[in-house]
Structure 1
């Protein structure tokens, strides 16, 4: 692969436009109005829940009871606005949630079931921070029906490998290791090397790399029998893994790749990010503001963005490339009412460098990344990121700053 198109920057595959584009002028009233409009497209489809809490060691939420009470109060607001429980296809608990006591985890599960309806095959994702989790909490998560573990992998990987081994012992079918970007400090390269080697030995079903690792580390995984199955995401080739093989991802959500495609993502808890219809939003990041909103019986939303038609179209293209490495041109033209090649004329021309390098195949019917091109999916997606391109262009013209 030519170095000129090698990935150089960190981007989040989960949401477009990214949260840095959210504005505080957008608040709870916009989301509430959309929820209360029961004819809103997509609102009656099954949803995903993204539930987050700060780590227990922080002063923001060290006592479990008030934090869990606030989460349930927020759930009640969504149910009241909708007037009936939403069906849930997928639910993610953040590492700040999963590191709570067994009693707190059971209480949260009960609260969710009081206000939502989990479908029979709902995917229940537990994000695990090995530095905070206890064996009792791991066993409780298994007993509560968690189906997927997303293990945050940092440092030398010893703790992450131990958690992956414990998950295998408990019988989890889907285990994902999410690698944190290495800090810029002396000796971090050796530590990062040990981390990757330990993950290879532990054999999770997925390894997700930060963009900065999509060079030598990606090649090391491929050399160890892994293949790139989604943007920055690797899985053992068939027959290589200790666990059963799973199909690819269906969609890209604010909290990461998903096996299910949900109509909306409801954010619960401080800092959580959600999307309902054309609205992307984030809950209050300051604990006092979050608590005050709930005391006033209003959704604790701090900022957000009303997506334009262009945002939605570009976000869908980026999501398809991220999850499938493939864009069906005819499908986009039919569903979005656009002439794909005319609409993305500038982007189509910019893709020629990737095509000449053997990274993608582009014709009238489809756009597809080649096996080599999957390693530069970040760069291909960035071509369709009009907002970041506009910002970059503005920064090169001082009079606009």
Structure 2
């Protein structure tokens, strides 16, 4: 792995999109509604994608028993588990409305349950959800079926239930093992609990285990985080997602409970990232891209080596770029050249379904220019290389003429050792992989026009 200096990390310590889509979700408009989304679904049903491309499904379960102060997700804090059954009923209505438009039994190769806390549902409710999905879609063998786990809500027997229901991938929210940090963010979960659950998941036979970590949390120091890194190396999950904490209390109300003076300074935050990169390299992990690391034999690392990485609203994926149906409050979907997002409040979500409508609150029909730039950004983010001819043939443009200004900016990045330019294309260097969001940002038309980037997390 290329050595990344704290100085270089500091230079690129700027806000920017994560590019789980292009255009990014903050560009969605309320002028896009249910009728536009229905049209996209019906076009898919009668187009070639219906027969050749499987779907991806995302199900958002918003409920959490307790509040994590760093959280920026759409969630509902409640200990009233009786709220689960009505929500499951509304999810079933939403699925029915989709099946009416796209047909019954469409192949699905990727399913992800996120939240909130998906394991807020009890075993019977999770079984009901999976049964309902299987009645309406064909979950193909060999697909990726994952669920986010709050270690405080699960034991070995529940893990066995998840395996029986068809889940083959788990993602554990760890964030940090340090007790002082856990107390500061209101998420107490002893390391022993996580180690025990991961060992159980391995015995049961889950194909891949991911651990989420966050650096930049209150009470963290480079030294305390290094202890967490050592524990993670000992835990040895198949994948690691390492995120930088973005403190935006004006946007995310729970973060107002974090004491600002407890947050590490910019220098310490960069030092944590530098130590994490070194620790994961020493432990044998492959840097997949952005915040993702994987063991060499994990399918994500294999896909990177083979140039088969893709990217969607769940992050990097080994699955082909396919249409995504988002189910539940605030869920985001992509059908063809259309993005959509459901209503963000439970009341609005339920009201739409009570009236027999899909609960779409906003979205975007992408333009021809968006499609070209999406192809460029995803090629850079996933393969780390771009061939001008491929873009020219696919979109009938003269690349160097259409993107002369962007190429000029990239010449500066070439001088910094982040990219290599040639007559035939762009190559992200091993060093540039750590700053690939910054490279992709060069081609973001909306970001060029809007210099207000405070809405985004830092790119490193």
What is the TM-score normalised by the length of structure 1? 0.88
Give the one of 9, 17, 30 matched to 1:24: 30
Query: Would the aligned equivalents of 2:392 and 2:399 in 1 still touch at CA under 8 Å?
Result: yes
Shift of 1:52: 0.9
Q: 2:322, 2:79 → 1: CA distance?
A: 31
Q: 2:106, 2:79 → 1: CA distance?
A: 29
Q: Secondary structure at the match of 1:51?
A: strand
Query: Would the aligned equivalents of 1:46 and 1:88 in 2 still touch at CA under 8 Å?
Result: yes
Distance 1:230 1:9, change over 3 A: same
Q: Which residue of 1 aligns with 2:90?
A: 70
Shift of 1:51: 0.8
Query: Structure 1, unaligned stretches of length 5 or more?
Result: 396-401
Q: 2:11, 2:392 → 1: CA distance?
A: 28
Distance 1:309 1:90, change over 3 A: same
Q: Which residue of 1 aligns with 2:112?
A: 92
Q: Which residue of 2 aligns with 1:247?
A: 303
Q: 2:165, 2:151 → 1: CA distance?
A: 19
Q: 1:170, 1:294 → 2: CA distance?
A: 38
1:221 aligns with 2:221: no
Give the one of 376, 382, 388 matched to 1:317: 376
Q: Which residue of 1 aligns with 2:229?
A: 196
Query: Would the aligned equivalents of 2:300 and 2:317 in 1 still touch at CA under 8 Å?
Result: no
Q: 1:42, 1:7 → 2: CA distance?
A: 40
CA RMSD across the alignment:
2.7
Q: 2:387, 2:158 → 1: CA distance?
A: 43
Q: Secondary structure at the match of 1:179?
A: strand
Give the one of 12, 28, 32 matched to 2:18: 12
Shift of 1:192: 3.3
Q: 2:404, 2:154 → 1: CA distance?
A: 49
Shift of 1:245: 6.8
Shift of 1:286: 0.6
Distance 1:216 1:386, change over 3 A: farther
Query: Would the aligned equivalents of 1:228 and 1:235 in 2 still touch at CA under 8 Å?
Result: yes
Distance 1:394 1:354, change over 3 A: closer
Query: Structure 2, unaligned stretches of length 5 or more?
Result: 66-76, 179-190, 246-271, 455-460
Q: 1:34, 1:312 → 2: CA distance?
A: 16
Query: Would the aligned equivalents of 1:56 and 1:99 in 2 still touch at CA under 8 Å?
Result: yes
Q: Which residue of 2 aligns with 1:398?
A: none
Q: 2:452, 2:347 → 1: CA distance?
A: 38
Q: 1:134, 1:6 → 2: CA distance?
A: 41
Q: Which residue of 1 aligns with 2:241?
A: 208
Q: 1:358, 1:161 → 2: CA distance?
A: 40
Q: Secondary structure at the match of 1:297?
A: coil
Following superposition of structure 1 onto structure 2, how do residues 1-400 of structure 1 map, counting pairs within 5 Å?
Answer: 3=8, 5-9=11-15, 11-37=17-43, 38-40=45-47, 42-44=49-51, 45-57=53-65, 58-59=77-78, 62=81, 63-95=83-115, 96-156=117-177, 158=191, 160-183=194-217, 185-187=218-220, 189-211=222-244, 214-237=273-296, 246-248=302-304, 250-392=309-451
Deviations 1:328-363 (A, max 9, x none): 322222112222222221111111122122222221
What is the TM-score normalised by the length of structure 2? 0.78
Residue range with higher mean Cα deviation, 106-115 or 315-324: 315-324
